[in-house]
């Protein structure tokens, strides 16, 4: 199973409450076989402790450290919000749900950091297809 599959990339998402977005992306991780369902609550718990908004319109919700045993296999899911969605007091355009018990996700995060380091890059991502986003996030671009 790949870290990211194209079925886990969602374009043109509509704004929702932050918790609803986290639960939705958590369900994608669960339905894809990456995590147990209880991992979703751990993602909410993490967000309540510390915001996963990393700036530049990007949020990376993930579970608390104690939830690592709920992870079956490392994986990510991506939601694109062209109009943005409220994340505390800021607008987020890209939400990347992460499940990883080890270091498998670090290459993906490095790719994200490299490819989405500016607001312009995030805006450019909004125009990409699922295939293009997949290639960017997996380093195949």
> Which residues have a catalytic role annotated?
62
Interacting residues of 126 by C-beta distance below 8 A, sequence separation 6+: 80, 82, 93
What is the C-alpha to C-alpha distance for residues 94 and 127, in angstroms, rounded to an integer?
A: 12
Interacting residues of 32 by C-beta distance below 8 A, sequence separation 6+: 1, 5, 7, 8, 75, 77
């Amino acid at each position: 199973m790949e870290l990211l599959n194209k079925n886990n990339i969602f374009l043109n998402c509509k704004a929702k409450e932050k918790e609803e977005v986290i639960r939705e992306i958590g369900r994608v991780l669960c339905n894809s076989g990456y995590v147990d369902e209880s991992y979703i609550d751990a993602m909410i718990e993490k967000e309540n402790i510390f915001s996963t908004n990393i700036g530049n319109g990007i949020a990376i919700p993930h579970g608390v450290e104690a939830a690592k045993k709920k992870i079956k296999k490392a994986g990510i899911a991506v939601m694109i919000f062209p109009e943005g969605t409220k994340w505390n007091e800021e607008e987020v355009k890209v939400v990347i749900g992460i499940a990883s018990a080890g270091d498998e996700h670090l290459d993906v995060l490095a790719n994200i950091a490299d490819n989405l380091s500016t607001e312009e890059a995030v805006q450019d991502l909004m125009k990409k297809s699922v295939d293009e986003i997949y290639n960017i996030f997996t380093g195949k671009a």
